[in-house]
Chain A
Amino acid sequence: MDPLSLLRGLLDTTEDAARALVGRERIRLAVTGLSRAGKTVFLTSLIANLIAAGRGARTLPALSDATGGRIRRVFVVPAGTETVPRFDPEAHLGALAADPPRWPERTEDFSTLSIAIDVERRTSLGGLLPERRLTLDLIDYPGEWLLDLPMLRQDYATWSGETLARFRRGVRAAAAAEFLAFLDALPADAPAEDALAKRGYTLYRDALRACRDAHGLRFLQPGRFLNPGPRGEAPLLWFFPLPEGARGGLADLCARRYAAYLDDQRSTFLDPYFSRFHRQVVLVDVLGALHAGEEAFRDTGDALAAVASIISGANWLERLLGAAPTRVAFAATKADHVPTRARDALAALVEHIAFGARGRAAQSGAAVSCHAVAAVRCTEDAVARLEGQAVAAVRGVLLQDGRGATIYPGEVPMKPPEPDFWDAGLFTMPEFRPPRLDPAGTSGMPHLGLDALLAWLIGDLL
């Protein structure tokens, strides 16, 4: 920790304390999740349901009960002079409610929004004292970028070594065949030729894309290769991992660009938003990982552990300064993809898949809990007859053609499955149409388990 960030940490801590004293806390809630985990939808539902709860609707019963019904008002904090785009819950809600409905696009840039929650004080004279105001700072971003975090602690050589080792194994090797062949053909002392750098970059990026889209893998770095963001592609990105023996100009060029890339990501994205927060929720699409096969399932766990080692692995000083989260919730998203009785298994499974990450969080002194949530509930329970057996399934309306369908999501194991589980083959969960929603969002939106998650995560602050 350099002196400057120590000073900043001290100042932030002082500000936090002063705010707490006058009942004006500001809480940074980090919503972390790999790409397609459901962050954008989660935030949209969180905001809509909180605002509706502020109007007295019982959209979040567990949170209302945890706070003894003292929530008085919830509103979006008016915009100031931020340079960062604003998260637009109304637009997302409108798209979900439209006919035909649309889910949010892949998030391409980060955006922020703050929600203020006015609560009556806990004391018996609470009604007479002024209300306390809790401000929740939220941020949405492309999930791919999260994996740039572990890179911050690695130099180019280490990163290259680890990345290439991973790419020479399993389905990655097949997806990256062309890139690996290019590497093997490259002389160890290749000159700093931009044509080479760009060729290598293009092949590597395509390999990453294939891994993400065709194989459901998640531990893919660097993030901006997959999701270049609003500024698009820049020469900064023209690098790729080189084998250990590489010594020439090309290796130097790649190492310089690697450092520049990290600097850029750190100053624009990681430092402002991930250096300090109070509560964290880690969203995991466990079922998607399970359906994508053994390697994808493991890969998701590895990626989460790598991210957590940076985010939650705070040292004692950071903890002392309150820079580390005190509560971390792990949530399996899209819990509506399984019937009710399989949801506990989903929550248990997220506990295992996030085992590495969970260990880190617990080590750093944070309380940890696991949940299964559906930000927008899109299905109802049903029974399917398969091969003569009646099995619990879900029924929903498919996004593409609007036809109704019953989906049997398979068995959800309570722990990482045995090897023979994977013989069942891969499965792609179809996308569903959200239920009928009020585009104005006056009553929030139907969810599963969001209230219990929030009650645990921020209930003590209210």
Chain B
Amino acid sequence: MSGRPTPRVILDEGTAPAPRLDFGWEVQVAPPVPPARGWSTMALIGLGAAVLVLGFSLLEAGNFVAAQFAQAAWLGWLTLAVATAGFGLVFVAIGRELRGYLALGTVDRARAAVARGDPAALRSALAAWQAGLPEGRAKPGDLGNMPINAACALVEAKTLAPIAQDAAALGRAAAVQAFAVTAVSPSPALDALVFGWRGIRLVRQVAALHGFRPGIAGTVSLLRRVAVDAATVAATDVAVDAAVRGLLSSRLAEHVAGEAAAGAVAARRMMLLARAADEACRVLPR
């Protein structure tokens, strides 16, 4: 066929090099941002109530101090000192609570940076995390001058692995105690109580290994994370280990040995809890 154009290359006018094409690929494939959840109604009510109580009591105290000054100067000064000391302690407690809660945010930031593959953010999150580690814990040191995957490997080997071992040791200790208590306790209800209390303590102990000293709010948030991780950890542990290594012992034991085995299962759960807590507090995902 003669009428058909043949393949050819048509160069652009001029000799200036053209910029490389840009399809805006990064934007196109960026993961969808989950909608910000904002504050829940309950949280707003709680916060409002706290502001009201604290604000009005502050005002009330102010009025009271002013009234005392009107009576006598020395009485006024004394009332002011008492009020300042009282409110000071309350604010210190709130500050500590807040710090404990926010410290957990370092973990979120570091993990988000890993997920995005953002080395700069990860470095800064790791630096903040290092600063918060407890005394005496081996730290990876300055990570600024090494490639980020090497830095992560170092963090893992130098700090996270030993912490995981310590967490496992804490878990074993808690397991022994739980086992002992369930063995001698008179009622299952008491069992559950002791168990719950020991569990929360264990989670807080493991968090402390990672440099977190959560207050009440922090502990609640921590427990929520642990609950999420515990499901995976427990399942991984039971299903995969059992299938792969042919270790069906815990399931079997539960049926065969009855009562004593219940204690063994409880003890085993403590160890799992320690692992789940460790998982929830690690700066780097496993």
Contacts and interface: CB of A to CB of B under 8 A. Distances in A.
Contacts of A430: 9
B180 interface: no
B235 A436 contact: no
Contact of A407 (B10, B16, B232): B10
B85 to A, nearest CB: 50
B21 A436 contact: yes
B5 A445 contact: no
B71 interface: no
Interface of A: 21-23, 52, 55-59, 101, 127-130, 291, 377-380, 384, 386-387, 389, 391, 393, 396-397, 401-411, 420-421, 423-425, 427, 430, 433-436, 438, 440, 442-446
B116 A434 contact: no
A406 B11 CA distance: 6
B232 A403 contact: no
A435 B21 contact: yes
Contacts of A397: 17-21
A23 B244 CA distance: 10
Contacts of B9: 405-407, 430
A142 B29 CA distance: 32
Given A55-B117, A424-B7, A436-B22, 8 more contacts: A57-B29, A59-B29, A386-B5, A389-B5, A397-B21, A408-B10, A423-B1, A443-B25
B31 interface: yes
Contacts of B8: 386, 407-408, 427
23 contacts: A22-B244, A52-B29, A52-B117, A58-B28, A58-B30, A128-B232, A130-B232, A130-B235, A396-B21, A397-B19, A401-B17, A403-B12, A404-B12, A407-B10, A409-B7, A410-B7, A420-B1, A423-B1, A427-B6, A427-B8, A443-B29, A444-B25, A446-B25
B277 to A, nearest CB: 18
Contacts of B23: 377, 380, 435, 446
Interface in B104-144: 115-119
Q: Main SS of the interface on chain A? A: loop
Given A57-B30, A401-B17, A438-B26, A408 B7 contact: yes
B220 interface: no
Contacts, number: 123
Given A408-B5, A424-B6, A22 B235 contact: no
B79 to A, nearest CB: 58
A196 B115 CA distance: 63
B256 interface: no
Interface in B73-117: 115-117
Nearest to B238: A130
- Category for how many chain B residues contact A: 35 or more
Contacts of A427: 6-8
B10 to A, nearest CB: 5
B239 interface: yes
Nearest to A438: B26
A128 B231 contact: yes
Contact of A387 (B5, B232, B236, B244): B5
A420 B116 CA distance: 54
B18 A402 contact: yes
Contacts of A401: 17
Interface string B158-191: 0000000000000000000000000000000000
B240 interface: yes
Contacts of B26: 438, 442-443
B232 A58 contact: no
Closest A-B pairs by Cβ, 7 of them: A404-B18, A402-B17, A410-B7, A56-B31, A386-B5, A442-B117, A427-B7
B244 A406 contact: no
A379 B21 contact: yes
A75 B231 CA distance: 23
Contacts of B116: 55, 442
B145 interface: no
Contacts of A130: 232, 235-236, 239-240
B243 interface: yes
A56 B115 contact: yes
B249 interface: no
B280 to A, nearest CB: 16
